[in-house]
Amino acid sequence: MPAKKVLITGITGQDGSYLADYLLSLGYEVHGVVRRVALEDQRHRMWRINHIADKIKFHSGSLESYPSIFKIIEKVQPEECYHLAAQSFVTYSFEDEFSTLNANINGTHYVLSALQSVAPGCRFYFAASSEMFGRAEEVPQRETTKFHPRSVYGISKVAGFDLTRNYREAYDMYAVSGILFNHESPRRGYEFVTRKITSTAAAIKLGKAGKLYLGNLDAKRDWGHAGEYVKAMHSMLQQDVPEDYVIGTGETHSVREFADLAFKCLDMDYERYVEIDQNFFRPAEVDLLVADPSKAKKELSWEYNISFEDLVTEMVKSDYDHLSKA
Ligand code: NAP
Ligand code: GDD
């Protein structure tokens, strides 16, 4: 049997890279949408997938361009499509609301519309987010919890979620959303708080930095490991009936706890090095996120066994090892 064809948008990102690793290990023919600038500077812009670049078929395209997305889908004829590409940094969505809405809403609409036109049998995954719950109306948050987004990023994800649901209902497409809570790894972007903490703590330990400037230390997140979450994405596209699922650990920790543990991994006290900088506070904050992933556990048989301590330790160790050699 020929290998199943999959198309991943956002393949150069954290999740795209783990998903590509996973799907290659399952024998898929993996196609990835990348921006042209990434193809021009593969060493830097494709650092997360350089180890598998020779096994992936790349297609140049952008969320800003419907024709580019349409042509790729028409040519590849994927059987599964994971739409992960997005402006994913919440802080930036306050700075540039318009481009965040454009890329995240129109980009999702372009992929769905092109699939419906030229590959309607393709199964579609949308990367929805716990940011949609925002000022959450219940704890923990589950599939039925009402959305109350607190950023343009969150609003764009609610729109993407609704677009996905509507293509499922209106055109009978297998289109689902994974509502994923924060997931991290050594491949996390440096602007997100976990990687900012682990990379700066390692730099301080090695004498390459002095202080770590952070915003709200009291925000709480449900942090899991990205490598495990991509398995849930795949599983969502293998069901008999297309449905949306919440994915998270069911545990929540504050930014302060994360920093405390990260510095302790390097035998340091975070209170000596962390300084509060008002610039890193958001105009509207999401105070507490914690998942109820029981539907995914039951219906997808999705299991998650990595402790918060192990996640933080892995990220600190990776940054320390990397910076020691730099
Ligand atoms: P990420 O590391 O920021 O990766 C984002 C990807 O989107 C990159 O490959 C980026 O390409 C691509 N992209 C951005 N704008 C684009 C555009 N205009 N045209 C084409 N590609 C574009 O994000 P992630 O952490 O892997 O997250 C993957 C998805 O899951 C995102 O949609 C995110 O919003 C969502 N999500 C993430 C989490 C989480 O905790 N990580 C939780 C819930 C939902 P470049 O490399 O060229 O910039
Ligand atoms: N980035 C950042 N930088 N966040 C900080 C800082 C800082 O210096 N100081 C405190 N924080 C707080 C933020 O205010 C927020 O409450 C929390 O740390 C987490 O911020 P991020 O790591 O930037 O992630 P996020 O929760 O806003 O968004 C991530 O998770 C979402 C799922 O809930 C992103 O990956 C989104 O794409 C994703 O949808």
Residues lining ligand 1, judged by CB closer than 6 Å?
Answer: 10, 12-16, 35, 38, 45, 62-64, 84-88, 103, 127, 129, 180, 182-183, 189
Extended beta strands in the chain, E state: 5-9, 29-34, 57-60, 80-83, 123-129, 175-180, 183-184, 212-214, 220-221, 224-225, 245-247, 253-254, 274-276
242 in the same domain as 97: yes
Nearest-angstrom CA–CA distance, 118 and 251: 42
Same domain as 215, residue 156: no
Residues 118 and 205 reside in one and the same domain: no
Rounded Cα gap, residues 52 and 71, in angstroms: 24
User: What is the identity of the amino acid at 74?
Assistant: E
The pTM score is: 0.98
The range of the structural domain enclosing residue 159 comes to 5-183+225-247
- The more confidently predicted of residues 1 and 144 is 144
For the residues 75-87, what does the mean pLDDT come to? 98
pLDDT digits (tens, 9 = 90+) for 190-243: 999 999 999 999 999 999 999 999 999 999 999 999 999 999 999 999 999 999
Q: Is the pLDDT of residue 160 over 90?
A: yes
pLDDT digits (tens, 9 = 90+) for 95-135: 999 999 999 999 999 999 999 999 999 999 999 999 999 99
The verdict on 255 and 242 lying in the same domain is no
CA distances to 122, 148, 176, 206, 261 from 138, rounded to whole Å, are 35, 11, 23, 43, 28
Q: Are 178 and 94 found together in one domain? A: yes
CB neighbours (10 Å) of residue 2? 5
Work out the average pLDDT over 63-78.
Answer: 98
Average pLDDT taken over every residue of the chain? 98
233 and 311 assigned to the same domain: no
Active-site pick, 29, 131, 228, 314 = 131
Given the residues 129, 130, 151, 199, the one annotated as active site: 129
Q: Are 320 and 186 in contact (CB under 8 A)?
A: no
CA triple 67-68-69, angle to 5 deg: 90
CA 188/CA 64 separation, integer angstroms? 24
Specify the CATH number for the domain of residue 208: 3.90.25.10
Indicate the pLDDT class of residue 326, thresholds 50, 70 and 90. Answer: confident
Same domain, 56 and 199: no
Task: Please choose, from the candidates 212, 226, 214, 227, the residue with its C-alpha nearest in 3D space to the C-alpha of residue 273.
Answer: 212
Q: Is the dihedral of CA 233, 149, 153, 284 positive or negative?
A: negative
Residue whose pair of structure tokens reads 């180890």 in the numeric block: 51
Ligand 1 centroid, distance to 46 Cα (angstroms): 13
Examine the pLDDT at 1 and tell me if it is beyond 90. no
129 among known catalytic residues: yes
Query: Residue 38 belongs to a domain with what CATH number?
Result: 3.40.50.720
Mean per-residue pLDDT, 142-167: 98
Asked whether residue 297 is assigned to any structural domain, the reply reads no
Q: Are 3 and 29 in contact (CB under 8 A)?
A: yes
At how many degrees (to 10) do helices 308-325 and 193-205 cross? 50
Query: Are residues 313 and 172 part of one domain?
Result: no
Burial 273-303 (b: 16+ CB within 10 A, else e): bbeeeeeeeeeebbebbbbbbebbbeebebe
Q: Distance between CA atoms of 164 and 121, rounded to whole angstroms?
A: 15
Do 36 and 13 lie in one domain? The reply is yes
pLDDT at res. 240 = 98
What confidence category does residue 325 fall into, taking pLDDT thresholds of 50, 70 and 90? very high
Q: How much is the average pLDDT of 13-21?
A: 98
Q: What is the mean pLDDT of residues 143-157?
A: 98
Domain count for the chain: 2
User: Do residues 107 and 171 share a domain?
Assistant: yes
Residues 10 and 141 in one domain: yes
Do 121 and 208 lie in a common domain?
no
Q: Give residue 252's pLDDT.
A: 98
Q: Is there a domain that residue 298 lies in?
A: no
* Ligand 2 site, residue 254, Cβ cutoff 6 A: no
Stretch 80-100: mean pLDDT:
97
